[in-house]
Structure 1
Amino acid sequence: MLKCRYYSKNTFLTAVFVVFIILTAHTQQLFAQVTGGSGFNLSLSEAVQFAKSQNKNVQAARIEESATGEDRKDAYRAALPTVNVSGSYQRFSDLTLFTEGLSHSTTGPRKPTPNAAALGVDALFNIYSGGRQRAFQKEQSSRLDLAKLNADDQSGNIALQTAGQYLDLVRLADLRKYIQDQLKRAQTRLKNINTLYKNQKVTKSDVLRAEVMLSNVELSLQQTENNISIANQRLDVMMNVPDSVRLNPTDSAAMPKPRPESLLQLIERAGISSFSVRKAAENVEIQRARVSGIQSANMPSLAFYTAYGLNYPNYLFFPSVNQAYAVGFVGLKAQYSISSLYHNKSKIAAGKLRVRELELQQQATADNITTDVKSYYIKYIEALNRISVNQRSVEQSQVNYRIVTAKYFNQLALLTDLLDADNLLQESRFNLIKAQTDALTIYYHLLYTSGNL
C-alpha cells in the first residue's frame, strides 16, 4: 500500500512538472511573438499602398468625397416634384361689432361656426426653368469629380511622404550597418595600436587618437540608432499604426531603379495627367456651370402644379354654410422676370471673365508641371550617374584603406593617413547610400507630380 502511494505521488509530480515546462515554453513563444524582437518586415511598395488606404488624412479626404457624392444626389433629387401636406384648425372667439366709432358694440358668435379646419396636399413640378436645374446638376457633378481628385491627390501626397520616410529609414539602416563595420575596424585598430605601443613602436599619441576615433564612432552609432527610432515613429504615423510597431525595411538603397527611358511617357502626359492640372480643369467646369445657372435667369420658367384639400366651413357660398367641402385643381404656372435682362448682365460678364481666368490658370499650371517633371527627369539621370561614380569611389577607397593600413602597421605611414583613409571609406559609402536613396526619392517625386502615384 505504501509503495503504491509512493508511485502515485511521483507520477503526479512528474505530470505537474511536464505541464509546467510546456506552459512555460508556450508562454515564451507567445511573448516572443508579441514583443516582435525582429519587428515587422515591410517593403517600399507595401508601405506606400498601406499608407494610401489607412492614413487619416486620406480617410478624411475619402469621407469628403462621399459627402460630395451625397450633395450630387441631392441636386438630382431636386428635379423631383415638390409635394406638401398641410393641416390647420382654428377656434374663433365671439365676434364684436362696433358702431359709431368705439362707443357702441354688440357681441355674437361667428357665423356659421366658431370652428375652422383645413387639410390638403399640393404638388409643384418644374417643367422648364431655362436650364437652371441642369446647370446645378453639372456643377455638383464637377464638384464630385474635384473631390475625387482631391482624395487621389491627398493619397498620392501621403504616398510620396511615406516613400520619403521609408527611404530615410533605409538610408539610416544602411548607415548603421556601415558604422558598425567602422566600429569593428576602430576596435581592431586600437587593439593593434596598443600592441605596437607595448612594443614601443608607436607613441602614446597614436593610442589616444585611436581611442578618440573609437569614441566618435560609438557616438555616431548611438545617434544613428536614435534617428532610426524617430524615423520609425514618423513612418508609423504616416501608415496610421501604433507607435510601438517596429518596421524593418526589406528593401535596401541598392534596390533596382527604373530606367530613364521608361519615364518618358510620364513626362509627355504630365501636362494632362497631373493632379493639379486636372483639378484646375474641374474648377473651369464648375465656373462654366455657374455661368449657365446665371444665364438661366434670363429665360422663362414653366411649372405644373396641383392641389386638393378638405376645408371646413364652406366659405364658397354666401352666406357661409356650416359644412365641410373638398375641392382640388390642376394648372400651369408660367413666369418671366423682365428685370433679369439688366440685373444679370454684369453677373454673366463677370462669370465669363472668371472662366477665362481659370483657363489661363490651368494652362499656367500645366506649364509649371511640365517644367517640374522635366527637371525631376534631369535630376534623376544625374542621380543615376552619381550612383555609378560613388560606386567606383567606394571601390577605390576600399583599396586605398587596405594599402594605408598595411603601410601604417609596417611603419611606412602615419596614423593620420590611416584615419583619413578610414574616413574617406566611410564618406564614400555614405555618399553612395545618399545617391541611391536620392534617386528613388526623385523618382517618387516624378510619379506624384505627373499624377501617377
Structure 2
Amino acid sequence: MNIINQCQRYLACTFIFLTLIIGNAAAQSVSKTPSVLGLNEVWEKVIQHNKTIKIEGFRVAASTEEILDAKAERLPEIGTEAEYGRVSNFGLFTKGILHKPELLPVEHTLYKVGGDAYLNLYNGRKTRTNISRQQILHELHTERRNESVSEVKLQAATYYLDLQRSIAFKSLIQNNIADQERQLKEICQLHINGVVLKSDVLRATLQLSRQKLALEEINNDIAIAQQKLNILMDEPDDQVVIPEPLSASQPSVLLKYEDYLAQAMQRSHQQKISEEETKLSKLNLKDVKANVNPKIGLYANYAYSYPQIQFYPYANYLYGLGTAGIKASFAVDAFYHNKHKVKVAQIELQSREMEHLRTQDLIRQQVNEGYLRYNEAMNRIQVAETNVLQAQESARIVTNTYFNQLSLVTDLLESNTQLLQTQFDLAAAKIAAQLQYFQLLNTIGNL
C-alpha cells in the first residue's frame, strides 16, 4: 500500500506540474493572438520594419541627395553684398600728434550695393570626379543596404528555425514524458506484485524528472527565440509566432560548386562592395593628380557705390560700375607639394586592390565551406532517419524483454533515452540543413 500511495502521489504531482506548464503557456498566449507565419512572411515583415534596414535606407537616401549636390556645383556661383559705413573726420597733424589736428572736409557717408557671379569652366575635372565619387558612394550604400537585408533575413531564418526546432523538441519530449508515465505506472504495478525492485521505480522516476526539467528548458528556448524574432520584425515581445511545421522535404543543391562560385563572384555583396571601394581609390588618385591642373572660369560683378572715390577725379555722387571677364589661376607650388600626395594615393590604391583579391579568396573559401557543409547536413539527415528506425526497434525489443523479466531497467531507460536522442538528432539535422542552405545563398548574394 505504501508503494501504491507513493506512485499515486507522484502521478498527482506530475499532473499538477504539467498543468502549471500548460497553464503558464496559455496565460502567456492570451495577451496576443498567435499568428501562424511562414518564413517568407517573416522576411516580408523584417524587410518592412527592421530598424537596421531602415538605417541603411536613410544612408541610401542621403547619398542620393549628395549626388544632386555634387551636380549643383556645375551651376554658377552668385553672391550679393551690401555695405554701409560712417567715415570719421580727417585730422591732419601738421604740428605733431601732441597738437590739435587740422580738420579737412570729407564725405562722412559711405555705402555700396552689388552682386557678383562666377562660372567654373575647368578645374582639372574635379567637379566631374566628385560627381562620380558620389555616384559610387550611392552604389556602395545601396549594396550595403542589400547586404544588411540579406544578413537580417539570415538572422531571421536562424531565429525562425530555432523556434521551429524547439517546438519540434517540445512535441517529442511531451510524447516521451507521456510514454514514461505509462511505463512508470506499469513498473509501480510490477513492484507491488513483487516482480521488480524498488530501485527500478526510483530510476524510472528520476529519468521522468529529468525529462520534465528538459521540457522547462525547451519552453524557455521557445520564449527566447520568440522575443528575438519579434524584435527583428519590430513586434511586441509578447506576440506569439507559430512557425510552419517542420517539413520533411529539404532544399537540395541542384548546381555544381563551380556554378555557385561563379554566381558568388558576380552577385556576392562582399564582392560588389569591394569593387566599389576599389573604384573610390582610383577616383581619389585621379583627384589628387588633378591638383596640378589650372582653373579657368568666367566672372562678372556689378555694384552701386557712393561716393565715387575709386577713380580720379573724385565726386560725391552715386555711381555704378561692373566688370566681366575670364579668370585663370595655376598653383605653381602644386608641382612639389602634390608629389607625395600622389604617392600616398597610389599606395592606397595598391592596398585596396590587394584587399579586393583577399575578399575574392574569402568568398571562394566561404562558398566551398557552405557547399560541403550543406551536403554533409543532407547526409546527416539520412543517417538520422536510419538511427530513428533502429532506435524504435531497439526500444520495442527492450520494452518487451523488460516487462517479460529478460532485461534490466537500465536497459529500458537507456533505450528510451536513445530513442528520444535520435528523434532530436533528426529534427536538428533537418533544421541544420535548411540553415546551411540559407547561409550558402547568403554567401553568393541570392538570399
Would you call these one fold, judging by a TM-score over 0.5? Answer: yes
Q: CA deviation at 1:107?
A: 4.8
Match of 1:28 in 2: none
Structure 2 counterpart of 1:46: 41
Q: Which range moves more in the overlay, 167-176 or 132-141?
A: 132-141
Q: Is the contact between residue 172 and residue 423 of structure 2 (CA under 8 Å) also seen in structure 1?
A: yes
Distance in 2 (alpha carbons) for counterparts of 1:123 and 1:52: 48
Cα distance change on mapping 1:402 and 1:233 into 2, 3 Å: same
Q: How far is 1:272 from its partner?
A: 3.0
Give the secondary structure class of the aligned counterpart of 2:81.
strand
User: Quick one: structure 1 residues 251 and 43, their matched pair in 2 at CA, closer, same or farther if it must change by over 3 Å?
Assistant: farther
C-alpha deviation, 1:186, in angstroms: 0.6
Q: Structure 2 vs 1, CA of residues 202 and 305 (structure 1 numbering), >3 Å: closer, same or farther?
A: same
Task: Output one character per residue of 1:46-91: Cα deviation in whole Å (capped at 9) or x when no partner.
Answer: 2123223321111111112212222222111112111001111001
Question: How many Å apart are 1:123 and its aligned residue?
Answer: 0.4
Alignment CA distance shift 1:319-1:391 (3 Å):
same
Partners in 1 of 2:317 and 2:32 — Cα distance? 89
Residue pair 1:171, 1:253 contacting (<8 A) in 2 also: no
Counterparts of 2:31 and 2:434 in 1: how far apart (Å)?
29
Match status 1:282 vs 2:271:
no
Query: Does the 8 Å CA contact 2:92/2:104 hold for their aligned counterparts?
Result: no
How does the TM-score come out when normalised to structure 2? 0.90
Q: CA deviation at 1:110?
A: 4.9
Any conservation in 2 of the 1:128–1:303 contact (CA below 8 Å)?
yes
Residue 124 of structure 1 is matched in structure 2 by: 118
Counterpart position of 1:302: 296
The 1-side partners of 2:108 and 2:118 are apart by 33
Partner secondary structure for residue 99 of structure 1: coil
What's the CA shift for 1:321? Answer: 1.4
Q: Counterpart amino acid of 1:54?
A: H
Stretches of structure 1 that go unaligned for 5 or more consecutive residues are 1-31
Q: Contact 1:75/1:140 (CA < 8 Å) preserved in 2?
A: yes
Give the conservation status (yes or no) of the 8 Å contact 2:95–2:101.
no
Shift of 1:277: 1.6
CA contact (8 A) 2:173 2:215 kept: yes
Q: Match for residue 208 of structure 1?
A: 202
- Tell me, in whole angstroms, the C-alpha distance in 1 between the residues paired with 2:55 and 2:182: 55
Task: Give the letter aligned to residue 303 of structure 1.
Answer: G
In the TM superposition, residue 264 of structure 1 has moved relative to its aligned partner by: 5.7
The answer on 1:451 being equivalent to 2:419 is no
Distance 1:205 1:103 in 2: 123
User: In structure 2, what is the Cα distance between the partners aligned to 1:240 and 1:284?
Assistant: 36
- The 5-angstrom pairing of residues 417-428 of structure 1 reads 417-428=411-422
Per the alignment, residue 157 of structure 1 pairs with: 151
Matches within 5 A, 1:319-334: 319-334=313-328
Who is 2:403 aligned against? 409
- Offset at residue 100 of structure 1 (A): 3.5
* 1:44–1:163 CA contact under 8 A, matched in 2: yes
> What fraction of aligned residue pairs are identical, expressed as a percent?
31
For the pair 1:439 / 2:433, whether they are aligned, the reply is yes
1:65 aligns with 60
Does the Cα contact within 8 Å between 2:36 and 2:244 map onto a contact in 1? yes
Instruction: Look up the SS of the partner of 2:255 in the other structure.
Output: helix
Q: Distance in 2 between matches of 1:128 and 1:164?
A: 55
Show the counterpart of 1:181. Answer: 175
Alpha-carbon separation, structure 2, partners of 1:326 and 1:251? 85
Contact 2:63 2:138 survives alignment (8 Å): yes
Distance 2:407 2:254 in 1: 45
Contact kept? 2:250, 2:430, Cα under 8 Å? no
Q: Secondary structure at the match of 1:363?
A: helix
Amino acid at match of 1:209: R
- Return the TM-score normalized by structure 1: 0.89
Identify which of 88, 91, 102 aligns with 2:86.
91
Provide Cα deviations, 1:361-383, integer angstroms capped at 9, x if missing partner: 10111111111111110110011
Q: Is 2:257–2:368's contact at 8 Å kept on the other side of the alignment?
A: no
| Distance change >3 Å, CA 250–CA 87, structure 1 → 2 | same
1:221 aligns with 2:207: no
The alpha carbon displacement at 1:401 in A equals 1.2
What pairs with 1:259-278 in structure 2 (closer than 5 Å)? 259-261=253-255, 265-278=259-272
The structure 1 residue matched to 2:185, chosen from 188, 191, 205, is 191
2:401/2:407 contact within 8 Å kept: yes
Equivalent-residue separation in structure 1 for 2:117 and 2:157 (angstroms): 57
When residues 120 and 422 of structure 1 are mapped into structure 2, their CA distance, relative to the original with a 3 A threshold, is: same
Equivalent AA in structure 2 for residue 75 of structure 1? A
Letter aligned with residue 101 of structure 1:
G
Q: What are the ranges of 5 or more consecutive residues in structure 2 without an aligned counterpart?
A: 1-26
Counterpart Cα distance in 2 of 1:429 and 1:200: 34
Which whole-Å CA distance do the structure 1 matches of 2:235 and 2:252 have between them?
Answer: 30
Judge conservation of contact 2:32–2:239 (CA < 8 Å) in 1. Answer: no
Cα distance in 2 for partners of 1:343, 1:251 equals: 69
Question: Contact 2:248/2:430 (CA < 8 Å) preserved in 1?
Answer: yes
More displaced 10-residue stretch of structure 1: 44-53 or 132-141: 44-53
User: Does the 8 Å CA contact 1:306/1:330 hold for their aligned counterparts?
Assistant: yes
Instruction: Select the residue among 163, 166, 170 that pairs with 1:172.
Output: 166
The amino acid across from 2:161 in the alignment is L
What is the CA-CA distance between 1:188 and the residue it aligns to?
A: 0.5
1:313 aligned residue (307, 315, 318): 307
Q: 1:373 aligns with which of 367, 378, 386?
A: 367
SS of 2:36's partner is strand
Residue in structure 2 matched with residue 56 of structure 1 by the alignment: 51
The 1:47/1:262 distance shift into structure 2, 3 A limit, reads farther
SS in structure 2 of the partner of residue 310 of structure 1: strand
CA displacement, residues 212-254 of structure 1 (integer Å, 9 cap, x when unaligned): 1111111111111111111111111122211111111114153
Q: Deviations over 1:407-449 (max 9, x none)?
A: 1112222211111111111110111111111111111111112
Of 57, 70, 74 in structure 2, the residue corresponding to residue 79 of structure 1 is 74
The residue aligned with 1:106 is 101
2:390 equivalent in structure 1: 396
